[in-house]
Chain A
């Protein structure tokens, strides 16, 4: 299939395909990070993760409409406010959900799965009732659209760069929050030994709530960012669920590094295969490979060998 092209064309294409893979990688990390925090740190399966993302997207949509209508001069930078608001809104909803629902179910992980699925249905219908069944179009400032041409063929989409930078910032932020801050230390303490953490004066309930809210908040940011590349509709969140869970499980549930590694592996595999095969087959093959590897290595890519 390469016979028709010159070497420069091929080189450019591999560069671009590599870049497409990197964008996909960033998208995956953004999708999965919030889930990985919640699942890895708390052992809770949040099936409504996609709906939290869509909440972020709708917040962005509202922001864009509001800014366009009332303060059009700020339209160029509204996206940053929108993301912050998306984080706050999704985080707040997350805290509420943790308080009302999740905290009763910590000992029953499979039941959180069902309950959060129920939650996802409710949120979907709520979006539909509020925003209508149709997808909404989110207007973006012009500087976010378009691309930077590097050579004749190589063009780098700006929103792709934006997503990559955002992912990097959030990943670093999460790293500091979980591994360098007091809150992170408490979170990890609770993960390792809930009783002991409680005994030394950590408010474990508060830690749980904050962790859950953080995961949901990051989902909100992801949703906000995805308005640049995907659709915003009541049921759009469901599209992400399988991919996201597989990434987290494939990475090894307890490890954020694993989530990043598995995002990388899956995104590269998928974008490479997409180039050689049809999109549908690439997707099937990627999923099959992941499931296959998981059957051979159920603990995922990264996991500590632990004494039981």
Chain B
């Protein structure tokens, strides 16, 4: 970590700079606060998408349950905000003042024990990281240690998403049920519903996303990043090179889970509520398509993919609601059949070479580097081919 240049190439820096410029300058100038808030909401999905790049694109682990972690992060945040909104004064009309309104409707007369710690912001912030990480660790340890992978892992994560949704809906006294946790107002007394707050949250969200991108880039450029690709291709070889494969998978799955959870927490803050409709199977699969459209190997691509799909969703579902599902379905198929490397692949084929030349001011390196090549020249093109 001592030297940023060691893991951020000029191309990566350019990519980061462009994304930062889009988030911090272009969009706030081009949009009113309403659209910007929407855009901020899309950006929270980008956290999930870049997590999927790591674990699916690079590591070959397809999780169809990322909504679970998005939801866990979101619910942690929402629980804190709800408690803050449920002061005895604000809830004086309830039979039991001081507990969230939906609990009161469900005849719960005392705050459940697992809600108690969420009175503390510090605990909440820690929980946003620890709860999903721990959950991912349990799932990952159980599955990867027993070498469950590929399709099986996908289906089991999907089932977990289904289970959690049913649980949240069924235990409405503790979770707010199908309505979710709504009517969130303030964070430490700061009203998160004002335009000013929305701007601030938007920028915080953007900064966190940039941070997440840098972190992921660091991971990808480390040996662990190369190991992930190696794992995806030839898991046995990695194992027989003396690595405990399961640990790496667990790590990357947990990392993706934590990223999703951060997205979820920011979602709650910006949108003002959390509900089980972000936890289930459908949103989880949609999050995969964000990543696939962007190019499942590229974290930058994933951000653009998320934005593009959501933008298309908002636009088309407004103007041609009938066509939207056809479009989304076709997108799934096209991204698999026609351009499996997504936006990043298109960029790499058509634009990348020019940009590279322009940045490095030297001819692109060929297949066989000169003997004097630096070790960095031995790195493979990260977007070589999609996972199978």
Binding site for B on A (CB under 8 A): 43, 45, 101, 104-105, 107-115, 117-126, 128-129, 238, 241-242, 245-246, 249, 253, 280-281, 283-284, 287-288, 290-291, 294-296, 298
Inter-chain CA distance A113–B160, complex, in Å, is: 17
Do B159 and A246 touch across chains, with their CB atoms under 8 A apart? Answer: yes
Q: Which residues on A sit within 8 Å (CB–CB) of B150?
A: 109-110
For this complex, 23 residue pairs linking A to B, each with C-beta atoms less than 8 Å apart, are A104-B337, A105-B337, A107-B388, A108-B388, A113-B62, A114-B288, A119-B333, A121-B328, A122-B330, A122-B333, A124-B325, A126-B326, A238-B281, A242-B158, A245-B155, A249-B152, A287-B163, A294-B152, A295-B142, A295-B156, A296-B142, A296-B146, A298-B152
CB distance from B291 to the nearest CB of A (A): 10
Which B residues touch A43, using CB under 8 A?
Answer: 151
Residue of A nearest to B61 (CB): A110
Residue of A nearest to B340 (CB): A111
Contact B336 A111 (CB under 8 A): yes
Known: A114-B288, A114-B335, A121-B325. A287 touches B151 (CB 8 A): no
Residues of B within 8 A of A (CB): 56, 62, 64, 142-143, 146-148, 150-152, 154-156, 158-160, 162-163, 166-167, 169-170, 281-282, 285, 288-289, 292, 322, 325-326, 328-333, 335-337, 340, 386-388
Across-interface contacts of A117 in B (CB, < 8 A): 285, 332
A282 → B minimal CB distance (Å): 10
Q: Are B332 and A115 in contact (CB under 8 A)?
A: yes
Contacting residues, chain B, for A238 (C-beta < 8 A): 281-282
B152 A119 Cβ-Cβ under 8 A: no
Q: Given A107-B388, A110-B151, A298-B147, A284 and B325 touching (CB < 8 A)?
A: no
Chain A residue at minimum C-beta to C-beta distance from B139: A295
Q: Are B159 and A115 in contact (CB under 8 A)?
A: no
Q: A118-B331, A119-B329 are in contact. Are A110 and B158 (CB under 8 A)?
A: no
Given contacts A121-B326, A122-B330, 18 further A-B contacts (CB under 8 A): A45-B155, A101-B337, A111-B336, A111-B386, A111-B388, A113-B64, A113-B151, A114-B292, A121-B329, A121-B332, A122-B329, A122-B333, A125-B322, A125-B326, A249-B155, A280-B170, A295-B148, A298-B148
In the complex, the answer to whether A295 meets B166 with C-beta atoms within 8 Å is no
Contact A105/B336 with A113-B62, A118-B330 known, Cβ cut-off 8 Å: yes
- Interchain CA distance A34-B282 in the complex, whole Å: 23
User: In whole angstroms, what is the CA distance A123 to B292 when docked?
Assistant: 21
Tell me, in angstroms, the Cα distance from A223 to B122 when the chains sit together.
52
Q: In the assembly, what is the distance between CA of A104 and CA of B148, in Å?
A: 25
Shortest CB distance A75–B (Å):
34
What is the total of A-B residue contacts with beta carbons within 8 Å? 126
**A35 CB, nearest partner CB in chain B, Å:** 11
CB nearest to A234 among chain B residues: B325
CB of B154 within 8 A of CB of A120, answer no
Contact partners of B56 in chain A: CB under 8 A: 110
The answer to whether B166 and A245 touch across the interface, beta carbons within 8 angstroms, is no
Contact A284–B170 (Cβ < 8 Å): yes
Does the CB pair B281–A242 fall under 8 Å? yes
Contact B151 A109 (CB under 8 A): yes
B151 and A45 contacting across the interface, CB-CB below 8 Å = yes
For the complex, give the distance between the alpha carbons of A101 and B142 in Å: 34
Instruction: Kindly state the separation between the CA atoms of A45 and B160 in the bound complex, as whole angstroms.
Output: 18
What is the distance, in angstroms, from A88's C-beta to the closest C-beta of chain B?
24
* 6 closest cross-chain pairs (CB), A and B: A118-B332, A122-B329, A121-B329, A125-B325, A295-B142, A298-B148
Give complex CA distance A119, B328 in Å.
10
Q: Which residues of A contact B289 (CB under 8 A)?
A: 114
> Complex Cα distance A241/B64, Å?
13
- In the complex, what residues of A have CB within 8 A of residue B337's CB? 101, 104-105, 115
**Residue in contact with A118 in the complex, picked from B147, B166, B333, CB distance below 8 Å:** B333
What chain A residues lie within 8 Å of B288 (beta carbons)?
A: 114
- Residues in A neighbouring B332, C-beta threshold 8 A: 114-115, 117-119, 121
Contact of B154 among A107, A113, A298 (CB under 8 A): A113
Rounded to whole Å, the gap between the CB of A253 and the closest CB of chain B is: 8
How distant is the Cα of A241 from the Cα of B330 in the complex, in angstroms?
Answer: 20
Q: How far is the CB of B170 from chain A (nearest CB, A)?
A: 4
CB pair A298–B329 under 8 Å, yes or no, is no
A245 touches B158 (CB 8 A): yes
A residues within 8 A CB of B282? 238
CB distance from B230 to the nearest CB of A (A): 18
Residues of A within 8 A of B143 (CB): 295, 298
Contacting residues, chain B, for A105 (C-beta < 8 A): 336-337
Contacts of A120 in B (CB 8 A): 329
